[in-house]
Amino acid sequence: MLVRTKITTTKEVTKLVMVCDYCNGKGRYSCTLCRKDLCRKHTYHDYSGGGDYSTRYCLVCWEKGESFRAKMVELEQKLEQELDQVELEWAEACGLIAQ
């Protein structure tokens, strides 16, 4: 005679969880510079890079980077102006714009 029996297996699983280095809450992100693990509340996002994703910083790196971010914006504006000028010269060389 065949009898059905239910076999139960118990398995111990270790789960690694990212924890915010500031508040010990559930971490989700990492600082781009110092690699601290961060929760949503302690993450500063910089969307100026123009990509699909923001660059993420912790509070310390964000505050230390204020003057650097200002310099970077200034350089980006200057470079954009220079690129526009080169593109204009190229168009003139192709005869698309009267000189």
Confidence of residue 3 (pLDDT cuts 50, 70, 90): low
Q: 51-81, pLDDT tens digit by residue? A: 788 899 999 999 999 999 999 989 999 999 9
Q: Could you give the CA distance from residue 89 to residue 17 in angstroms, rounded to a whole number?
A: 55
Segment 87-99 mean pLDDT: 85
Domain extent listing, the chain: 18-64, 66-99
**Radius of gyration (C-alpha) of the chain in whole angstroms:** 27
pTM: 0.64
